[in-house]
Each structure stands twice: as structure tokens, then as C-alpha cells.
Copies of this chain bind each other. A is one copy, B any other.
Amino acid sequence: MAAKSPKGPQPRSGCPVCVSLEQFGDRWSLLLIRDMMVRGYRTFGEFLNSGEGISTNILASRLRSLQKAGVVSAERDEADARSIHYRLTEKGIALAPAMLELLLWAARWEQTAAPCGFVEHMEQNRAGVLAETRRRWAERDPTPILPPFKKPQTKTSTASAQSTRRKKTR
């Protein structure tokens, strides 16, 4: 059988945190939202090659459940009828504050590849970062808010990683 949408065996208490976790309590959903929110990804292929190694059936399943939850919407590309553009809804972009806090927590307490300077900037300018995130969403601006950093190698890695992907997104 194909992978179906994941859902808890039974709906739990009406606690808000609970309700969130019923939607995002898995390893992939929030990652896809991150890809849409800060990296500007929109297509199945972009998510697939985002570097984390999600498999196609799970990706399809998660995109479905996120749509069902009203967090993501989908529409066909006008220029290429094969392609579908996934995009956060208003409800989806409203997750930005939670996402930001999660990011800041990990940057502070775990070893991550996030450039320190940027993290500090985000920490001291939450509102500005959120406003910019929302602006890019509203204007459908697919420019990544920060380049997709891979493992930290040399200090040139952050500067060069920009242009490798996305040669032709339309």
C-alpha cells in the first residue's frame, strides 16, 4: 500500500500544543514548511532534493496532509503543465514565529551549520525577520532568506553555496 497521511490513533485532548503536534508531530512536515518559508522552494522536485533525503512516497503523503490541514495550497504552473507549485497559505505563514523560535533554540543549544552572525541578527531583530519573511511570501518572492548551508566546511562555503541549485525555475 502507499503511505497514507499520518494521523494519531485517536484525537487527543483539545490542548493547543497537542493540536499542533497532531499536524506537525513528525520529522518531515515542519521541514517542508521551512523549505517553503525560508528557502522559497515550491515544487516536488525541489523538496525532494532539499538535501535531507525524504522519499517520494512520504513527500507526497505529507504534501497531501498539509493541504488537508489548510497549511499549504497547490496550483499548476501556468508555464509548465507538469509542474505544481506548492505554497504556504495564510495559516501556514502564520507558523513563522514558531519556526523562528525553534531555529533560534537549536542555533543556541545544538551544534548547527547556521552562520553565527545571522543567528545573532535574527535574535535581536525578530520582528524585522518575520516582516521580511511575510513580505517575501506575500510577493511570491522565491529568493531564499538565507542560502542553503550545507555542513560547515571552509569559510567560503556560505558565500558560494548560493548559485549551485536553481538554474531554471521558470
Contact = CB atoms under 8 A, between A and B. Distances in A.
A95 B97 CA distance: 13
Contacts of A98: 98, 101-102, 105
Contacts of A107: 16
Nearest to A33: B17
A101 B15 CA distance: 14
Stoichiometry, as copies per complex, reads 2
Candidate in A17, A22, A94, A150 with the most chain B CB atoms within 10 angstroms = A17
Contacts of A101: 97-98, 100-101
A13 to B, nearest CB: 5
A21 interface: yes
Interface string A78-107: 000000000000010011011111111111
Nearest to A98: B101
Interface residues of A, number: 51
Q: Which 9 A-B pairs have the closest CB atoms?
A: A14-B113, A25-B27, A16-B106, A98-B101, A16-B112, A97-B101, A20-B106, A12-B52, A16-B103
22 contacts: A8-B27, A13-B51, A13-B113, A13-B149, A14-B113, A15-B112, A15-B149, A16-B104, A17-B34, A17-B99, A17-B106, A18-B31, A19-B111, A20-B105, A21-B30, A25-B28, A25-B30, A95-B105, A97-B101, A97-B104, A98-B101, A100-B101
